Structure 1
Amino acid sequence: MKTVVIGNSGQLSAELKILLDDNACFLGPEDTDITEEKVLHETLQALSPDVIINAAAYTAVDKAEEEPELCTALNAVAVKNLATYCRLSGCFLVHVSTDYVFSGHKGSPYKTNDALEPKGVYGKTKAQGEKALLDILPDDSCLIRTAWVYSSHGHNFVKTMLRLMKEKPSLSVVDDQIGSPTWAKGLAELCVTAANRKHKGVYHFTDEGVASWYDFAVAIQELALHKKLISSAVAILPVPTSAYPTPAKRPSYSVLDKQETRVEFPELAFRHWREQLSDMMDELAGGEQ
């Protein structure tokens, strides 16, 4: 089975490269333009994939408020273009979306069929991409929503915290936004499994457990000290979202209900986010050595 991955430089792409064999082709912006239907379709027709995994997205949540057109092109138009190609060619599509399609007001874990109520440009464009996918390709696609993704590759909250812990005497981190951290390695395993099985449907995937960004930061420091990624502790102060205003509004509670995913993908390991974080930081420690 020939697999094409859209995206070649992000966290998820890096983990997919480790998992996929030589039959996988990774396409970056230098290879095609996913926002231009004709260009994209010509590229894909030449490759003739059986499955496409879309790991490309505009993910700069705050910057999206300043660049709504670019964000829409990458998160909505590109998904429409991919879904259209797959419908015409008979190709299966695995697409990754986000917890930010929800408002955060529900107060309990979001189910796959809960109403989408995104707050900012990023969430709205991801919701538009979801709608395009499900309208065009409902029977030949797997839509996976995830949250708070990090890895040893690329830019993410974990690596930012580690850098700031070396540079600052103290950090202020919001404690009233609740979600579930996700190591990109587990997300990549789900994407590959869904692709191999051509398993259609809408699924939620994060690591187990819940946390605030403050909880996450405290755990990062504890593990970093233990693994000698940092040499000394800094004060980490919990603050409300109101004390740290950002251009984009974020959901205050965006935990995703994963029961359907556990049932449909029993071979996957569903581990607590702190265990996953520890293993990822072992990767970082090994890399530094």
Structure 2
Amino acid sequence: MMWLIAGANGQIGRTAASYFQSQSIEFTSFGSQDLDISNLNQVEDVVKSLSPSHILNAAAWTDVDKAEIDHERSLATNAIGPRNLAVSARKVGACLVHVSSDYVFGGGASSPISEVTKANPINYYGITKAQGDENVSIEYPGGSFILRTSWVYSRYGKNFVKSILRKAITSEDDIFVVDDQFGQPTLATDFVKKMHQLCLSDAPMGTYNITSSGSTTWHGFAQEILRLCDFDPERVKPIKSESLDTLAQRPKYSVLSNAKMRGVGLDSMEDWSEAICRSVEEIRQEVEVEIGF
């Protein structure tokens, strides 16, 4: 087994590399500076030369607001890139694992969303991610896993947990966080482990939701982060999405159902509150190093 990781510098890409190394799994990682997944010729050359058994597409344009401005770059990374990887994976017979997002849905649901629910994004980032999913499904349906996840955090890069901790550590001011968007905070390490389990199983190819169990709001998540780190959770003040001056709309409800994953014999991931409890100290230490605390 040999993995090719596209998106080496992102949260899932870096987490996957760390996990594969710990499991003595052979892999090669490429950041955007090394592999432009929107360039089909370049992707085909790299995939053909390495002939991996698995390709993990962890590359993504994740700046939701900037996607509203820079349509071309967002589309290239989130829609054209997955198509190119699917075409290239098919030619060498590799399994493609494409990481998708809860933002392909518009937020109008009131119960966990299944894999068969039609995408209805409300921002351009979501549009490009939905197009990427469709492109993979068209180009390589028999050899691809499309894995939708949500609210990913880790010790790496920029994410909500690190942002909240940075504010809590460096200031005593109140922290204002929306309380009307519901989702599933998902630890990148847990996602990668479950992804690997899925690839080792006999599960049929297709689309799967892989998230932590349970759900919360960004406000509830922020309060739990502070509580676990012995800060006053009441410093987190609730606000409404409409009060934020953002270019892109966010879905109000994007909780994903994990029933399909359980149906193929894989256990659900633990509740989001248990995952943050287990991981927050390591993330806090990383933040303290970054700010020189």
TM-score (norm: length of structure 2): 0.92
Q: How many angstroms apart in 1 are the aligned matches of 2:144 and 2:198?
A: 9
Q: How does 1:113-262 map to 2 (within 5 A)?
A: 113-165=116-168, 166-197=170-201, 199=203, 200-225=205-230, 235-262=235-262
Q: How many angstroms apart in 2 are the aligned matches of 1:8 and 1:117?
A: 29
Q: How does 1:15-34 map to 2 (within 5 A)?
A: 15-20=15-20, 21-34=24-37
Tell me what 1:105 maps to: 108
Q: How many angstroms apart in 2 are the aligned matches of 1:48 and 1:97?
A: 24
**What SS does structure 1 have at the residue aligned with 2:28?**
strand
Cα deviation code 1:202-233 (max 9, x no counterpart): 111111111111001100110111xxxx6x66
Q: How many angstroms apart in 1 are the aligned matches of 2:73 and 2:33?
A: 17
Q: How many angstroms apart in 1 are the aligned matches of 2:48 and 2:162?
A: 38
Q: How many angstroms apart in 2 are the aligned matches of 1:53 and 1:198?
A: 18
Q: How many angstroms apart in 2 are the aligned matches of 1:151 and 1:143?
A: 21
CA contact 2:6–2:35 (8 Å) conserved in 1: no
Q: How many angstroms apart in 2 are the aligned matches of 1:153 and 1:280?
A: 12
- Judged with a 3 Å threshold, the aligned counterparts in structure 2 of structure 1 residues 198 and 84 are, in CA distance, closer, same or farther, namely farther
Counterpart residue identity of residue 18, structure 2: I
Q: How many angstroms apart in 2 are the aligned matches of 1:41 and 1:198?
A: 28
How much has 1:22 moved relative to structure 2?
4.9
Q: How many angstroms apart in 1 are the aligned matches of 2:258 and 2:150?
A: 12
Deviates more, 1:233-242 or 1:153-162: 233-242
Runs (4+) of structure 1 exceeding 4 A deviation are: 285-289
How much has 1:167 moved relative to structure 2?
2.3
CA contact 1:53–1:195 (8 Å) conserved in 2: no
Percent identity, aligned pairs only, is 35
- Judged with a 3 Å threshold, the aligned counterparts in structure 2 of structure 1 residues 75 and 168 are, in CA distance, closer, same or farther, namely farther
Tell me what 1:85 maps to: 88
CA contact 1:53–1:191 (8 Å) conserved in 2: no
Q: How many angstroms apart in 2 are the aligned matches of 1:196 and 1:27?
A: 23
Q: How many angstroms apart in 1 are the aligned matches of 2:152 and 2:82?
A: 20
Q: Which runs of 5+ in 2 are unaligned?
A: none
Q: How many angstroms apart in 2 are the aligned matches of 1:60 and 1:198?
A: 35
**What SS does structure 1 have at the residue aligned with 2:64?**
coil
Q: How many angstroms apart in 2 are the aligned matches of 1:35 and 1:217?
A: 36
Q: How many angstroms apart in 2 are the aligned matches of 1:168 and 1:286?
A: 19
**What SS does structure 2 have at the residue aligned with 1:118?**
coil
Q: How does 1:33-44 map to 2 (within 5 A)?
A: 33-44=36-47
- Judged with a 3 Å threshold, the aligned counterparts in structure 2 of structure 1 residues 155 and 285 are, in CA distance, closer, same or farther, namely closer
How much has 1:193 moved relative to structure 2?
2.2
**What SS does structure 1 have at the residue aligned with 2:229?**
helix
Counterpart residue identity of residue 208, structure 1: S
Q: How many angstroms apart in 1 are the aligned matches of 2:152 and 2:234?
A: 24
Counterpart residue identity of residue 283, structure 2: L
CA contact 2:153–2:160 (8 Å) conserved in 1: yes
Q: How does 1:39-58 map to 2 (within 5 A)?
A: 39-58=42-61
Check if 1:9 corresponds to 2:9. Answer: yes
Q: How many angstroms apart in 2 are the aligned matches of 1:154 and 1:83?
A: 27
RMSD (Å) for aligned C-alpha atoms:
1.7
Tell me what 1:284 maps to: 283
Counterpart residue identity of residue 215, structure 2: V
Counterpart residue identity of residue 189, structure 1: K
**What SS does structure 1 have at the residue aligned with 2:274?**
helix
Cα deviation code 1:178-201 (max 9, x no counterpart): 111100011111222233347412
TM-score (norm: length of structure 1): 0.93
- Judged with a 3 Å threshold, the aligned counterparts in structure 2 of structure 1 residues 168 and 75 are, in CA distance, closer, same or farther, namely farther
**What SS does structure 1 have at the residue aligned with 2:141?**
coil
Q: How many angstroms apart in 2 are the aligned matches of 1:168 and 1:36?
A: 47
